[in-house]
Structure 1
Amino acid sequence: MTVTVTIVPRRPVFPFTAIVGQEEMKLSLLLNVIDPKIGGVMIMGDRGTGKSTTIRALADLLPEIDVVVDDPFNSHPTDSDLMSDAIKEAVARGEDIPKGTKKVPMVDLPLGATEDRVCGTIDIEKALAEGVKAFEPGLLAKANRGILYVDEVNLLDDHLVDVLLDSAASGWNTVEREGISIRHPARFVLVGSGNPEEGELRPQLLDRFGMHAEIRTVKDPTLRVDIVEQRSQFDQNPEGFLQKHLEEQEVLQKKLVAAQTLLPSVSIDYDLRVQISQVCAELDVDGLRGDIVTNRAAKALTALEGRTEVEVSDIGRVIVLCLRHRLRKDPLESIDSGYKVGKVFRDIFGFDLNQDGAAA
């Protein structure tokens, strides 16, 4: 049974393809959409550089997803891996599941959010009195199969950041109160942003983010004029501006869907994998997350380009984004961590990184 859902008119969102500059941020976000197992993106940079605008634009760009109507966890109607336990049980009993579609959810985590607001709460009194697991879903449930955006993540309580990272890595959220345990799917692309002037994340937490994009205020006067002009046009006539970029948006959307389909077929040569690990070892990167994420990101980029064999240039475009935040920092050292990654990459792969981060 397919149920028609009444769609409330949505506020126009600035189109992703119209965003000028900030290539690191845009590439990191696209790769995480293609392969959410990369582990999310940490975006650090100046205020007023379009971080929130870009993330909302990405969510708006993505195609609608199939969902079970009125399910608080955005369960998929046919894929058991993307169903909540309640929907799985209903399917097993042979019940008719109402199907519909909705835009990819994009959830903004407020800075003052409590753990109960994020994870959800269990009504203990109802559970004890009626013998039912009364669960009030939180933001992690709402973000399932979508994007969870945490602005000023460096100001968030470390424990809460840990909870978000654990859910993003495992794909599940578990809430336990007074011996009662409830879990639900929580697969989302975690995007954190912040201004380094307001404090850094602890290295243990920073390492858990798959990629790290640095963005700076555009200095080129011509580009700044372009950005102001684009924004003015959008504010004056949102529908006309969106129409002008509709074709580009549709092309990119199809490219993303094709990349998601192609990803399982993408392979990376053994010698290239060894060289990636050599870079990580040379940089003294703790653990193996750096190796794993660089391999995943290179494959996702290859799929985005419509190919099935990873090339050195693909690795060159992602390796700084995957490793710069995993290096041990010496407070007295003035060398940029991205420069260090690029230097070791050049020594091992025999290629230079150009200004865009690609192997030249």
Structure 2
Amino acid sequence: MTSPVFPFTAVVGQDDLRHALTLCAVDPAVGGVLALGDRGTGKSTTVRGLAHLLARDGLDMPVVDLPLGASEDRVLGSLDIDRALRGEIAYAPGLLAAAHGGILYIDEVNLLDDYLVDLLLDVAASGVNTVERDGLSHTHPARFVLVGSGNPEEGELRPQLEDRFGLSTPVATIRDVGQRWEIVRRRMAFERDPEAFTAAWVEREDRLAARIRLAREQCVALEIGDDVLHAAVRICVDVGAVGHRAELVLVRAARAAAALAGRPAVTVHDLAAVAVAALRHRTPRTALEPATATAARVRIAAAAVLGRRVA
């Protein structure tokens, strides 16, 4: 029996996380979401809620969990032992095969073993998983939305893996009394009667799913003018973004945002709206600067580009 899933649209707060996940649902090429912050803030609930929302509308994006201590065989796949005993050489799919076309979710991603990080980097770069061992040679596509969460106080994330996440958003404990009260109220209502609670949110879930479906269909056809591309490069240069993936993620996220809003073309305003999420983890900061310093620099750079545009 399938466990009930808390509705995505019923999650209180965490608007930045929900928006980032929605952009990746519109265009998986945005590259996934890194959500770092406090424990118990609904990160996994939000991820699973989105997957359930999409499945209701026929947009299947299953969530596959990658445990911290998973073996290489479990992640990559291995020789099918049962069939091997019958004299056959066959592939037994692993977690990467199961995640193809869906979401690969890693909780406490900053504590992931180095060997698993290396495996993920290889597959994320190529979009293909190749297994060669025990007389077996098998290759299959492995393209997925990578979503990671964790508490940065418990360990640093390797820069190579951090860069593989398209968007990044902090997830903090909500301090507003009213919002916290609403979180408790909704959760208790859901636990008391999941079917009734879910039914109350069906209309909102269906509306968002329809918006995502339409945005998916229109996304790749949206016009992206040279002025928008130039503005994206200008923002990345001004903040000192590391690597050239920055511009690509920024433009893809802006395109997804424009499609979600129903606009026929991407604007510089779309770039500015997603710039912090796309660039905060690609902008270097000194050891003495607070974590919020990079987001502030991105906002200033985006505002400057908007100002030049208006002028």
SS at match of 2:220: helix
* Structure 1 Cα separation of the partners of residues 60 and 81 of structure 2: 33
Alignment identity in percent?
A: 49
Give me the whole-angstrom Cα distance separating, in 2, the residues matched to 1:129 and 1:235. 47
Residue in 1 aligned with 2:225?
A: 269
Is residue 317 of structure 1 aligned with residue 309 of structure 2? Answer: no
State the partner residue of 1:161: 117
Shift of 1:281: 1.2
Aligned to 2:21: 29
Q: Distance in 1 between matches of 2:80 and 2:8?
A: 41
2:68 to 102, 111, 116: 111
Matches of 2:134 and 2:89, distance apart in 1: 12
Q: What is the aligned counterpart of 1:183 among 126, 139, 143?
A: 139
Alignment of 1:348 onto 2:309: no
> For structure 1, which segment, 294-303 or 154-163, has the greater mean C-alpha deviation from structure 2 after superposition?
154-163
Within the alignment, does 1:38 sit opposite 2:34 as a pair? Answer: no
* Alignment gaps of 5+ in structure 1: 1-8, 67-101, 352-360
Change (3 A) 1:241 1:127: closer
CA deviation digits over 1:37-96, x for unaligned, max 9? Answer: 111111101111000100110110013698xxxxxxxxxxxxxxxxxxxxxxxxxxxxxx
The aligned amino acid for 2:42 is G
Is the CA contact 2:231–2:268 (under 8 Å) kept in the aligned structure 1?
A: no
3-state SS in 1 of match to 2:137: strand
In the alignment, which residue of structure 2 is the partner of 1:170?
126
Give the whole-Å Cα distance in 2 for the aligned partners of 1:256 and 1:292.
21
| Runs of at least 5 residues in structure 2 that lack an aligned partner in the other structure | none
Distance between the aligned counterparts of 2:125 and 2:27, measured in 1? 12
Moved more, 22-31 or 327-336: 327-336
Letter in 2 for 1:184: H
Bigger Cα displacement from structure 2, 29-38 vs 164-173? 164-173
The equivalent of 1:86 in structure 2 is none
Whether the aligned pair in 2 keeps the contact of 1:124 and 1:178 (CA below 8 Å) is: no
Aligned mates of 2:115, 2:236 — CA distance in 1: 28
> Over residues 221-270 of structure 1, what are the superposed CA-to-partner deviations in whole Å (9 max), with x where a residue is unaligned?
01111111111111111100011000111111111110110112112221
CA–CA distance in 2 between the matches of 1:185 and 1:111?
Answer: 23
Q: Secondary structure at the match of 1:10?
A: coil
Question: How far apart, in 1, do the equivalents of 2:148 and 2:94 lie?
Answer: 18
CA contact (8 A) 1:124 1:177 kept: no
TM-score of the superposition, structure 2-length normalised? 0.92
Which 4+ residue blocks in structure 1 deviate beyond 4 angstroms? 123-130
Please give the residue correspondences for 1:243-322 in structure 2 after superposition, counting only pairs within 5 Å.
243-322=199-278
Distance in 2 of aligned mates of 1:292 and 1:255: 23
Partners of 1:168 and 1:59 in 2: CA distance:
20
Which of 178, 183, 189 is equivalent to 1:233? 189
Does residue 61 of structure 1 match 2:17?
no
Indicate the larger mover: 289-298 or 138-147.
138-147
User: Relative to structure 1, is the Cα distance of residues 129 and 63 closer, same or farther in structure 2, using a 3 angstrom cutoff?
Assistant: closer
Largest Rg, 1 or 2: 1
- The answer to whether the Cα contact below 8 Å between 2:89 and 2:135 also exists between their aligned partners in 1 is no
Structure 2 CA distance for aligned equivalents of residues 349 and 165 of structure 1: 35
Query: Which of 176, 180, 196 matches 1:220?
Result: 176
Shift in Å at residue 180 of structure 1? 4.0
Q: Partners of 1:103 and 1:36 in 2: how far apart? A: 12
162 and 329 in structure 1: CA distance in 2 versus 1, 3 angstrom threshold: farther
Could you tell me which amino acid in structure 1 is paired with residue 90 of structure 2?
Answer: A
Seen in structure 2, the aligned counterparts of structure 1 residues 178 and 65 have a Cα distance that, compared at 3 Å, is farther
SS at match of 1:44: strand
| 2:294 is aligned with 1:337 | yes
Other-structure match for 1:121 = 78
Structure 2: how far apart are the matches of 1:215 and 1:284?
Answer: 24
With normalisation by structure 1, the TM-score equals 0.80
Q: 1:182 to 1:337 in 2, by over 3 A?
A: same
CA 1:65/1:254 → structure 2, altered by over 3 Å: closer, same or farther?
A: closer
> What is the total number of aligned residue pairs between the two structures?
307
Q: Deviations over 1:274-305 (max 9, x none)?
A: 11101111222222100000000000011111
Cα distance, 1:340–1:135 mapped onto 2, change above 3 Å: same
